[in-house]
Amino acid sequence: MNSLKSILRLRIVLVALLMPCLGFSQGENPISIDFPGGSLSKFVETVRADNDTALNIIDLEKLDPVLPAFSFQNQYPEAIINALSAILEPQGYFLVRPSSDMAILSKKDLQNSKEGFAAFQLGHKLRGPTSINDVTAAIQAACEFSGRDSKTLRFKFHPGTKMLFVVGPQITIDHIVRQVIASLPDRIL
């Protein structure tokens, strides 16, 4: 249990620290909070009471999931929403962000999650030291780091065309696989 808490804290810190580096917009008023843990609605109330900022999390379905204890110092709403997403996703929730300071909470429908397929041309990325095993290992590491089960993905590589075919949950393909492959450097001879 302590390792799970450590992982969650690390994910929160990493997301919050990387937000400015990744070019996300930063509102006028940063948020600082030492949250003892509790419901999402309690978190939102605490932020609104202790900070002069707009952070809106709309819970239309009245799900009100429980959050662990954590703290933020001088973070902007967008970074906090991303960190909350990292906490809530393993619990089966997700946040849809229509703007940088607002999110809508929803419950994942795990039984009806859509299976997806994608094909990636890797010819320009596999020259040099990078192998297909490196690519699939990077995808699996990203899945594990983000709390997704990498075993739900199936890979098939076609050497003649240097195409990688991926089958698995569409959300994992869209949010993890595409980002990892796009991040691979192009190898031009």
Q: For each of the chain's 189 residues, which pLDDT tens digit applies?
A: 455 445 544 444 444 444 444 444 444 578 888 999 999 999 988 888 877 777 788 887 888 899 999 898 988 888 888 889 888 988 888 887 777 778 888 887 654 467 888 899 998 888 778 899 999 999 999 998 888 888 889 999 999 889 999 999 888 888 899 999 988 888 755
Domain topology for 111-183: Ribosomal Protein S8; Chain: A, domain 1 (3.30.1370)
pLDDT at site 113: 60
Q: Sign of the C-alpha dihedral, residues 169, 170, 173, 174?
A: negative
Exposure string for 96-109, b = 16+ CB within 10 A, e = fewer: eeeebbbbebbeee
> What pLDDT was estimated at residue 22?
40
Beta bridge pairs of residue 174 = none
Sole residue written with tokens 């993890």: 176
C-alpha 72: how far from chain center? 18
Q: Where are the domains positioned within the chain?
A: 2-107, 111-183
| Three-class secondary structure of residue 25 per DSSP | coil
Task: Give alpha helix (H) positions in the chain.
Answer: 2-21, 40-50, 77-88, 132-145, 170-172, 178-183
- Hey, CA dihedral for 146, 42, 95, 90, is it positive or negative? positive
How confident is the model at residue 15, as a pLDDT?
A: 44
What per-residue confidence (pLDDT) applies to 21? Answer: 42
Answer CATH for 2-107 from 3.90.180.10, 3.30.1640.10, 3.55.50.30, 3.40.50.2300: 3.55.50.30
Angstrom CA distances, 97 to 23, 66, 162, stand at: 16, 20, 36
